[in-house]
Amino acid sequence: MPYVCRSRFRVRYAETDQMGMVYYANYFVWMEVGRSDFCRECGFSYRDLEREKQAYLSVAEANCRYLAPARYDDEILVETTLSRVKSRIIEFSYQIKTGDTVLAEGRTVHVVIGADGRPRSLPQPYRELLKSKT
């Protein structure tokens, strides 16, 4: 069974729209919170990867399927799993919930690039840290 990273926080008022529901683009921000937490739980931060190895995880594809609305002050749980890790491609999957209600399901695909913007391999130590959670 794949490792699941769990991130918890509450919906902030600024994240809601005129109808009082969370604005759709904020779900992608929450996915980023889940990804960052996942990497930290693996033993590294995005910042370390960028500063130490000049390797960047560029988003190549992102999707989200909205199932129910979230509202101000709801407690949010983002469950992040690693779906795929290859030398140049990393894929994460997300389930965003409040209580027992699944609000959204999403996925992001990342291409590892160097400071020059060209694809490169994910440095081996980082790849091993990620694979340890699959």
Considering Cα of 47, then 51, then 55, then 61, what sign does the dihedral take? Answer: positive
Please give the pLDDT value at position 17.
94
Hey, what's the torsion of the CAs at 66, 72, 73, 76, to 10 degrees?
Answer: 10
Domain range for 19 = 5-131
Residue-wise pLDDT for 56-67, tens only, equals: 999 999 999 999
Q: Can 73 be counted among the known catalytic residues?
A: no
- Token pair of 76 as six digits: 């949010």
Q: At what angle do helices 46-53 and 26-42 cross, to 10 degrees?
A: 70
pLDDT in tens, 25-57: 999 999 999 999 999 999 999 899 999 999 999
Q: How many domains does the chain have?
A: 1
- CATH number, domain at 127? 3.10.129.10
- Catalytic member of 17, 37, 73, 74: 17
pTM attached to this predicted model? 0.94
Interatomic CA distance for residues 77 and 34, integer angstroms:
9
